[in-house]
């Protein structure tokens, strides 16, 4: 048996975006892959503190965190990229000047910008959800004590592009800005991505492209779909940008899309 390598995005792939539930079929499937001796990684925009619950639920200790800014294999850190203390202070000041709703994501905790939030309902809902899994701090832009790995901002959804985003992009040439839709933007240090992590781990474990599988749904999974992996599975609900690169489109998360794809691709028995 050829050992295979699997990468699963979390939100919208393993976790239903609406219900926030993880289908039991996905849990069983991933545990089966592990029991068969395959390598299984979560590959998420979330930093480590927001992945620990899912790692325990799926029975794995391997993850690509923060869009490739940290890679953990069997509990050991293979790669780590943190924003420097000085640059972090500059970013805090910039976000305060622009008065943007911001989320600073660290391995240890998630830090929110100052209340009252501009997008109060959205941000309070996100804060409540995140607080259920990780330590959080609000009014954190004045706190200069912590390091963080990446950050996100929320603007008014559904309207014209906020001109403050153009300013933010111009002032952060060392970051890749990803428009996630609905006024949400993700900023990742340049040179790091989900796809780069896929290629790095394929090389590290000598996995051939035909033995590598990536699962995703959103535009921040695009680099995974542009990686060397031969099997690129888009969930039933997905961003259009993935379609040009997808080798297979499966069902929705809540309709057992993960296990259906694994069976269709003859990785798991029916």
Domain boundaries, the chain: 5-81+192-264, 85-189
> How do 101-105 and 63-65 pair as beta strands?
unpaired
C-alpha dihedral over 246, 252, 253, 254, to 10 degrees?
Answer: -170
Contact 169, 177 (CB under 8 A): yes
Q: Give per-residue pLDDT as tens, 241-268.
A: 999 999 999 999 999 999 999 999 999 9
Contact 110, 66 (CB under 8 A): no
Cα angle value 124/127/133 (rounded, 5°): 150
pTM of the predicted model as reported, rounded to 2 decimal places: 0.94
Q: What topology is assigned to 85-189 in CATH?
A: 3.30.1240
Q: Give per-residue pLDDT as tens, 147-201.
A: 999 999 999 998 788 999 999 999 999 999 999 988 999 999 999 999 999 999 9
- Cα separation, 64 vs 59, in Å, equals 15
Question: Does domain 5-81+192-264 sit in CATH 3.40.50.1000?
Answer: yes
Helix (H/G/I), strand (E/B), else coil: 252: coil
Cα angle value 49/166/243 (rounded, 5°): 65
Residue with tokens 């000085």: 86
pLDDT, averaged across the chain: 96
Q: Give per-residue pLDDT as tens, 55-106.
A: 999 999 999 999 999 999 998 999 999 999 999 999 999 999 999 999 999 9
Q: Give the pLDDT confidence score for residue 160 in this predicted structure.
A: 81
> How do 101-105 and 150-154 pair as beta strands?
antiparallel
Q: Give the pLDDT confidence score for residue 176 in this predicted structure.
A: 95
Q: Give per-residue pLDDT as tens, 118-160.
A: 999 999 999 999 999 999 999 999 999 999 999 999 999 987 8
């Amino acid at each position: 048996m050829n050992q295979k390598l699997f990468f699963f995005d979390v939100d919208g792939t393993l976790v239903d975006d609406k219900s926030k539930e993880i289908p039991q079929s996905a849990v069983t499937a991933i545990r089966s892959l592990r029991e068969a001796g395959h390598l299984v990684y979560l590959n998420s925009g979330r930093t480590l503190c927001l992945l620990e619950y899912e790692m325990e639920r799926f029975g794995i200790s391997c993850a690509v965190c923060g869009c490739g800014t940290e890679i953990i294999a069997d509990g050991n850190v293979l790669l780590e990229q943190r924003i420097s203390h000085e640059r972090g202070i500059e970013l805090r000041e910039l976000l305060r000047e622009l008065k943007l709703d911001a989320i600073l994501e660290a391995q240890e905790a998630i830090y929110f910008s100052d209340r009252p939030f501009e997008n109060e309902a959205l941000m309070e809902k996100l804060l409540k959800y995140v607080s259920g899994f990780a330590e959080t701090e609000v009014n954190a832009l004045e706190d200069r004590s912590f390091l963080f790995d990446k950050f996100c901002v929320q603007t008014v959804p559904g309207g014209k592009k906020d001109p403050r985003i153009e300013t933010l992009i111009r002032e952060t040439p060392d970051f890749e800005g990803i428009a996630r839709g609905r006024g949400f933007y993700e900023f990742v240090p340049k040179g790091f991505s989900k796809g780069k992590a896929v290629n790095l781990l394929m090389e590290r474990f000598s996995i051939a492209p035909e033995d590598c599988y990536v699962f995703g749904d959103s535009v921040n999974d695009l680099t995974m779909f542009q990686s060397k992996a031969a099997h690129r599975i888009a969930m039933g609900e997905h961003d259009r940008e993935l379609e040009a690169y997808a080798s297979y489109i499966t069902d929705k998360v809540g309709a057992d899309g993960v296990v259906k794809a694994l069976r269709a691709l003859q990785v798991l028995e029916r």
